[in-house]
Structure 1
Amino acid sequence: MWIGFIWVLLAAIMLGFYAFPSKSVKGYQVENLWGVFWLFAMFIVPILASVLLVDGLKATYTQVPIRVFISVFFLSLLWGVGNLLWGISISKIGMALGFSLLIGVATLVGSVLPFFMGAADKLITPGGLIILAGILIIMFGIVCNGKAGLLRETNEQNENATKSGNMKTGIIMCVLGGICAAGFNLSYHVADSIGEIGKIAQEQFNNEPWVARLAVMLPAFIGSGVITVLYFVFQIHKNNYWSAFKGSHNTKNIMLIAVMALVYVASLIIYGLGAYNLGAFGTSVGFAVFQTGCIMVANLLGIFSGEWNEAGTKSKQWLYSGLGIMTLGIVIVAYGNFLLA
């Protein structure tokens, strides 16, 4: 179980760092950058990795009921919609509030719903109630983190967002985005726990657990990619940004984005491995820890990079309180999972 927690925390750290190479991308609009990224992350990297590494991939899928793939596909479509809604909403309400709202809602929905997809009776056991309490504590820590971010943002930014009428719309979009983003974890739960794709890939074709996670997650990547890639292709075409791909920096940009995609996909695969090692409730416990780890890594990076140097004392107090509360929540969730193991 503790190995599972280590894998999940490693995945969170990797996800917190995956976008770092984007700072060196030159000559691209936002649409070019993220359009290419989602193409690599949702299609090229996972498809190539699955085909090259997973033994018996086609034979594994032929044993899975078609209803499982349909469910995974539509849940992963929601994941793609959630990514897009969050990207749009942060331009309306700011990164601090947007990030906290999305992670908070996605954590709550993505961690609790798996209980009702085959193990609802466990929710009222001592271990299940402790896990639920830990998730609620994590939620409170995320709220504290959001408060810290809002205090750090300038009054001018907040006033502009409110005057333009964007704040209410942005909050609604971000909450909806958080609900949809939980589709990633739910699609993984359906594919692995209900469809038993990982079990088939491991037991019948002797794939290592981490390789089997590729088979589990590939259908989800495809579904999310349909939404995200089509959206950015539309935006690039509408704004006539195709010429950016002819610039002198194009080759370097593609390589940097490919590295981003590799780290991103690897982080999700490692999360899947961690959830697998956490046992029957890995998709509930693991997702809570994974999402919380992501937001903690983002905050710690901000602290070490100097983003909080000019923040007021009150803002820093909320930040440190949030980090401490989220850490406590992770410990409680881990204890609850130990009781259910």
Structure 2
Amino acid sequence: MSLLSGILFHLVGAFSASICYTPQNKVKNWSWQTFWLAQASVCWIILPLIVAFLTIPNLYIILTEAPSKAMWTSFLLGFVYGIGGTAFGIAIRYVGFSLTYAISVGISCVLGTLAIPIYKGELVELANRLGFNWIILGISVGILGIALCGKAGYSKERDFKIGNISEKFSFSKGLPICILAGVLAAFYSFSLDQGQPIADVAEKYGAGSFQGNVIYLFSNSGAFLSTLIFCLFLHLKEKTFSEFFSSKKSGLNKSSFLFFNYFLAILTGSFWYLQFFFYGLGHNNMGEFKFSSWAIHMILLVLVSNIVGLILKEWKSSGITTRKYLGSALVVLILSVLILTYGNYLGIKE
């Protein structure tokens, strides 16, 4: 039951991450950097503070007892992840929600899952446990599903060119940004792993399954700092900082559009933070192969994001062949999750 709960928590987190960017399409008269900084303030600063305060008993005592090395390491790795998160948002401009998740999360899935046990010298020990081969198989099948998503992306771009459809879709521009985002996103997995000593202190004081929320105070604030630096650079370059308070365009109800834009930023930031919140709950329920949490979460994210892409009609102008590629990818991704779940089940039964 604990394993099933973990998978379901990861599913909810993946769904939250898949829809978090959709409000961005409704934002009016804000530059990208204005909206991005507004939503980042919510998901990386405001909500981590609020949730940690509500779910972590004796928070102040925990922060005084937790090792400072773990805090700084988690913060710095989060800083690197923040660069990847920014690249994530830029990539969406070129290849849409579903493909950004497919490519970036695919890379992050492999690096963020296997690099940690390799770095900690635990891979050989894990390999001797029942169910490990199924975990590796599940990850491999997941990579195949993600590759099929990439093939669907190439096919989608060809369909748009043949149909002479006016859309801001460029796989050639979006691909390198997606790769960068995927590599740097894997650092978040490292950030959480290195922050575990802080969570261990929180568990001692009764935080239970919510122990991971204390790590977000450091990993997410690190991500916010790198985002803040980049967004402020763009604001200074393009002189857009005033957008937080007013609009330069006439004929607009200033208070109305500002309220709506801030509402959308809060909505985006909240959905994005819920990804972290449910990831932590899922991770603490995964049994012996907790390292596979990252793979399960990422593969579910790709799966759900493509389903969301279909619902948002990102693939509406695609041909039959493209849709076949996408359909095959979804089936393979579902199979991957089932295999990973079975592998974790065997690990618990051992």
Task: Indicate the TM-score class for this superposition, using the shorter chain for normalisation.
Answer: 0.7 to 0.9
Segments of structure 2 that go 5 or more residues without pairing to the other structure are 163-169, 248-253
Q: Which amino acid aligns with 2:107?
A: V
The alignment of Structure 1 onto Structure 2 pairs a total of residues equal to: 329
State yes or no: 1:274 paired with 2:282. Answer: yes
CA 266–155 in structure 1, closer or farther in 2 if over 3 Å, else same:
closer
Contact 1:202 1:208 in 2 (8 A): yes
Which amino acid is the alignment partner of residue 198 of structure 1? A
Question: What corresponds to 2:133 in structure 1?
Answer: 129
Aligned: 1:235 with 2:237: no
**Partner of 1:80 in structure 2?**
82
Please show how residues 256-335 of structure 1 align to structure 2 within 5 Å: 256-282=264-290, 284-335=291-342
Distance 1:115 1:89, change over 3 A: same
Map 1:42-81 to 2 at 5 A. 42-81=44-83
Q: Which aligned pairs between 1:208-247 and structure 2 lie closer than 5 A?
A: 208-210=208-210, 212-245=211-244, 246-247=246-247
Report if the CA contact (8 A) 2:98-2:302 is conserved: no
Normalising by structure 1, what TM-score?
A: 0.87
Q: Spell out, residue by residue over 1:278-300, the C-alpha distance to the aligned partner (whole angstroms, 9 max, x if none).
A: 12432x32211211112211211
Residue segments in structure 1 that go unaligned for 5+ positions in a row: 159-165
Pick aligned residue for 1:251 from 250, 259, 263: 259
Alignment partners' CA distance in 2, 1:102 and 1:54: 32
Q: Is the 8 A contact 1:76 1:220 kept in 2?
A: yes
Q: 1:120 aligns with which of 120, 123, 133?
A: 123
Deviation at 1:223, TM superposition (A): 0.8
Give the % identical residues.
24
Q: State the 1:187 CA deviation.
A: 1.1
Deviation at 1:111, TM superposition (A): 1.1
Which residue identity does 1:266 align to in structure 2? L
RMSD: 2.5
Moved more, 317-326 or 298-307: 298-307
SS in 2 for 1:182: helix
- Deviation at residue 19 of structure 1 after TM alignment: 2.4
Cα distance, 1:107 vs structure 2: 0.4
Q: Which residue of 1 aligns with 2:26?
A: 24
Pairwise CA distance, 1:48: 2.9
1:106–1:227 Cα change, 3 Å: same
Give the Å deviation of 1:86.
Answer: 3.5
Shift of 1:108: 0.5
Match for residue 161 of structure 1?
Answer: none
CA distance in 1, matches of 2:90, 2:17: 20
Deviation at 1:321, TM superposition (A): 0.8
Partners of 2:185 and 2:69 lie apart in 1 by: 21
CA contact (8 A) 1:209 1:273 kept: yes
What displacement does 1:118 show? 5.6
**Residue 184 of structure 1 pairs with residue 192 of structure 2:** no
Which residue of structure 2 lines up, in the alignment, with residue 163 of structure 1? none
TM-score (norm 2): 0.85
Q: Could you report, residue by residue, the CA deviation over 1:85-139 in whole angstroms, capped at 9, with x for unpaired residues?
A: 3344555677665443211110000111232236322342242222112101101
Residue 37 of structure 1: CA displacement?
1.0
Q: Distance in 1 between matches of 2:93 and 2:312?
A: 22
One-letter amino acid of the structure 2 residue matched with residue 240 of structure 1:
K
Q: Which amino acid aligns with 2:178?
A: C
Paired amino acid for 1:29:
S
State the AA in 2 paired with 1:74.
L
Deviation at 1:42, TM superposition (A): 1.1
1:25-56, Cα deviation, whole Å (9 max, x unpaired): 22211111111111221112212332344222
Contact 1:97 1:150 in 2 (8 A): no
| Aligned residue number for residue 41 of structure 1 | 43
CA contact (8 A) 1:123 1:129 kept: no
